[in-house]
Structure 1
C-alpha cells in the first residue's frame, strides 16, 4: 500500500509539474519527456533567423552545416544553434534521464532480458542444489542461527539455503548471482506465509538485510574509479565494507526490535562475533597488500568464488546422481526444469519493474527531483555541512530510486571534482553501501505478488539513511586530513 501511494505521488506530482511548466512557458517542448534519451541535447527555444543578434546570424550563415556552437566549454553542455527550415533551433544542456518510451524499451532490452538470462542459469543451478540434497544439508547446518533471526522459518527449510546464497553473493559482489538466489528465497518464504498478499515477518527481515548490502569486494566501484584515473582505485574498499556492515547491523536491530527477536541467543552472538572477526582479519590482510596485489586479489576473489559455487554444485550433483534417478530425472533435465522457472519469474516481475522505472524517469525529467535535491543540499549547507558533502548528496538521494541514475551522478562527481577528492570518494561509498530500495521492493515482492509490504519500505529507507550518515563519518575518518 505504501509503495503504491508513493508511486502515485511520483507520477501525479511529476505530471502536474510538467503541465505547470508548459502553461507558465518555462518549457518550450515536452517531447523529451516522452521520447528523449539520456545525455541528448535539450531543445530550449526556436526562433526565426532574423530575430537573432546580427553576429549570430553571420556565424550561422557562414557555417557549412548551418550550425553554430556558442560557449564551448568541456565542463558544460554547449549552446547550439541549428538553422533548418527557415527557423533556428536552440539547444542547451543535456537530458538527465531517458524519456518515458525509451525507458520502456531499455527496461526490457537492457534490464529484463539480461536478468532473464541470469535467472535462467542460476535457477537451473539452484534446482540442482535442491534435487541433489545440497540445499537441505546447508539449511540444517545454518538452522541454529537462522531460526534466531527468522523465528517463523522452520529448521532445515530450503529458504535458509537460498538466503545464505543470496547473502554470500552480495558479500562477494556477485550481483548477477544474488538476484536469482534472493527471488527463490522470497518464493520459498512465501510458501510459509499464511497471508499471500501481505508480507510476512521473515520476508521483511530478509529484504531489509538484503537492502543493507553487506559487501566485501566492491568490484564495480573499483572498476569505475580505475576508469576515471584514481591514483588508488581500491582505497574506498575498506570504507565500503565498514559502512555496509554498519547498515547490516542497523537493519537487523531495527527489524529485530520491531519483531521482538531475542538478541541474547548464544548462537546469534557467536555468529555475529565470528563475522566481525572474519571481516576484521580480511581487512587487515588486504591492507597489508600493495596496490598491484590489492587489484589482483579483489579482482580474482569474486570470480573464483562464483566459479567455485558453480563447480561445487555440479560436482555434488554428479556424486549424488542416484537421487536424480530416484526422482525419474537426470542432472541436465533437472537444470532445465529450474531454468524454466527462472524464465517464468523474469516475466512475472517485468510489469513491476517497468512501472517503477517509468515513474522515476518522469520524476527526474520533470525537473522536480532536481529542485528537491537542490533545496535539500541548500538546507544541509545552511546548517554548516561542508560543500564537498552536499556535492555528494545527489548520489545518496537517487540511490534508493535508480542504481543507473545514482551511478551516473557518481561518475559525474568523479569527473567534476576528481576521483581522489573527498567528494569523489564519498559518492563511491554511497553507491556501494546502499540498495536500490524501490527497485528491489518492486522486483522481490512483485515476483510473489505481495501487495501489502507493511513497514518494509519505511525500514529500508531508514537503513539507507543510516548508511548515508555512516558513509559520511567513515569517509571523513579515512580521507579528511
Structure 2
C-alpha cells in the first residue's frame, strides 16, 4: 500500500520540479534571446543562413530559400555539439518560434518543425564536457575515455534521425548538396576524432572545457561588434529579445509540468525495474552477455528525462558494486552523451508555440534515441568490453 503515497509524493514533487525548471530557464532565456536579437539586427544570423542555406533548403523544403531561421538552427545545433546547454535551449526555442511563423496549421507540427526537433533529440555532441566532469568528480582513472565512444554513438543517432524524417517526408537524400555537406561533416568529425585520439586524456579535457567557453564568449563578441558596425541600438535590441525569453519561459510551464509528472509516475510505479529485470532474465536464459543491462535504466530514462537519466548514471557511479570505471557505468556515460531527451524537448519546444498535434515527431525522435542507445552498447563492447 506504500506505493500510493509514493505515487502522490512523486506527482507533487515533479510538478514543483517542472515549475522550478521553467523559472530557472527565465534568466537564461532572457539573456540568450537578448543576444540573439542583437545578432539578428547585426546581420550575423542572416550570414549563417546563407552559409548553411543550400543544405537546409533541401532538408526543410517547405521554407523559403535562405530563411533567417537557418542561422538560428545552425547556432542551436552548434551549441548542442559543444555541450553548451545554456545557449542551445534559448536558440532552439527561438528557432521553433520562427518556424511557427511559417506554419499554416498552428496547432499541428509542420514538416520543418519535426525535422528541427529530431535534429535536437538526436543530441549530436562533439565535446561532452559535463559527463567528463562527473566522471572526474567520482574518481575515474581516465575521465575522458568515453569521449570517442560518445562522439561515434551520437553521430549514428543523428544520422538515424535525419534518415527517418527524410523517409517519412519523402526528402531525397541522394542529392549532391546533401551528400557534400554530410560527407564534409563526417570528414570533420573523423578528423577531430583522429586528432584528439593522439592527445593525452587530461589535455582533451582541458581543450573541451576551455574551447567551449571561448567559443561561447566569441559568439557574444561577434554579435556585439556586428551590431555596432551596423549602428544598432544594442541595449534596445537586447531588451526586446529578453522580453521574448521571459514570455516563452512562462508559456512552457504547463507542458513541462505535465511531462515531468508522467515520467515521475512511470519511475515510481516500478515499471522501469520490471522492464529491466525482464530483459536481464531473457539474456541470462540464453547464456548471453548481460553486463550492459545494468546501464539500461539510464538508457530507458534518457528519452523521458535528462535529469532522470543523469541520476541513474550517477547512481551507477556511486554504487560500490559497480563504480565509475565499471563496464556498466561507461555504457551509461556513453548513452547519456549519445542522445537527447525526446519527450522533454517535445514538451518544451512544441509547448512554447502551442503545438498539440506532434504527427511523426515522437516516432522519429525515438528512432534516433534507439539508434544512439544501440550504438552506445555496441561501441561500448568495442572500447570497454
TM value normalised by structure 2: 0.96
Which residue of 2 is the match for residue 295 of structure 1? 205
* Structure 2 SS opposite 1:264: coil
Q: Which deviates more, 413-422 or 181-190?
A: 413-422
**Structure 2 residue 177 is the aligned partner of structure 1 residue 267:** yes
**Structure 2 residue 363 is the aligned partner of structure 1 residue 449:** no
Indicate if the aligned counterparts of 2:301 and 2:308 stay in contact, CA closer than 8 A: yes
Count of residues in Structure 1 that have an aligned counterpart in Structure 2 = 383
**Structure 2 residue 304 is the aligned partner of structure 1 residue 394:** no
Match of residue 463, structure 1, among 332, 352, 368: 368
* Structure 2 SS opposite 1:346: helix
Indicate if the aligned counterparts of 1:205 and 1:252 stay in contact, CA closer than 8 A: yes
Which residue of 2 is the match for residue 363 of structure 1? 266
CA apart distance, 1:445? 0.6
CA apart distance, 1:418? 2.0
CA separation in 2, counterparts of 1:343 and 1:267?
A: 38
Indicate if the aligned counterparts of 1:414 and 1:423 stay in contact, CA closer than 8 A: no
Gaps of 5+ in 1: 1-21, 36-98, 325-329
Of structures 1 and 2, the one scoring higher in RCO (CA 8 A, sep 6+) is 2
CA separation in 2, counterparts of 1:438 and 1:235?
A: 29
Q: CA RMSD in A?
A: 1.4
Indicate if the aligned counterparts of 2:122 and 2:338 stay in contact, CA closer than 8 A: yes
* Structure 2 SS opposite 1:234: coil
TM value normalised by structure 1: 0.77
Indicate if the aligned counterparts of 2:248 and 2:352 stay in contact, CA closer than 8 A: yes
Indicate if the aligned counterparts of 2:144 and 2:202 stay in contact, CA closer than 8 A: no
CA separation in 1, counterparts of 2:285 and 2:62?
A: 47
CA deviations on 1:65-119 (whole Å, 9 max, x unpaired) are: xxxxxxxxxxxxxxxxxxxxxxxxxxxxxxxxxx22222223222x112211110
Which residue of 2 is the match for residue 33 of structure 1? 7
CA separation in 2, counterparts of 1:143 and 1:392?
A: 40
Indicate if the aligned counterparts of 1:162 and 1:182 stay in contact, CA closer than 8 A: yes
Which residue of 2 is the match for residue 95 of structure 1? none
Q: Which deviates more, 284-293 or 161-170?
A: 284-293
CA separation in 2, counterparts of 1:108 and 1:274?
A: 42
* Structure 1 SS opposite 2:237: helix
CA apart distance, 1:228? 1.1
CA separation in 2, counterparts of 1:149 and 1:106?
A: 36
* Structure 1 SS opposite 2:144: helix
CA separation in 2, counterparts of 1:433 and 1:147?
A: 27
Indicate if the aligned counterparts of 2:57 and 2:66 stay in contact, CA closer than 8 A: no
Larger radius of gyration: 1
**Structure 2 residue 230 is the aligned partner of structure 1 residue 320:** yes
Match of residue 108, structure 1, among 10, 19, 25: 19
* Larger proportion of helix: 2
CA apart distance, 1:291? 2.5
Q: Which deviates more, 286-295 or 377-386?
A: 377-386
CA deviations on 1:205-246 (whole Å, 9 max, x unpaired) are: 111111111100000110111111110000001000000001
* Structure 2 SS opposite 1:315: helix
Which residue of 2 is the match for residue 50 of structure 1? none
Which residue of 2 is the match for residue 311 of structure 1? 221
Indicate if the aligned counterparts of 1:112 and 1:350 stay in contact, CA closer than 8 A: yes
Match of residue 338, structure 1, among 214, 232, 241: 241
Indicate if the aligned counterparts of 2:129 and 2:205 stay in contact, CA closer than 8 A: no
CA apart distance, 1:385? 4.0
**Structure 2 residue 328 is the aligned partner of structure 1 residue 423:** yes
CA separation in 1, counterparts of 2:287 and 2:69?
A: 47
**Structure 2 residue 250 is the aligned partner of structure 1 residue 347:** yes
* Larger proportion of strand: 1
Which residue of 1 is the match for residue 278 of structure 2? 375
CA separation in 1, counterparts of 2:309 and 2:168?
A: 30
After TM superposition, the structure 1 = structure 2 runs for residues 50-449 of structure 1, keeping only pairs within 5 Å, are 99-109=10-20, 111-321=21-231, 324=232, 330-416=233-319, 417-449=322-354
* Structure 2 SS opposite 1:392: helix
* Structure 1 SS opposite 2:145: helix
Indicate if the aligned counterparts of 2:132 and 2:144 stay in contact, CA closer than 8 A: yes
CA apart distance, 1:383? 4.0
CA apart distance, 1:387? 2.5
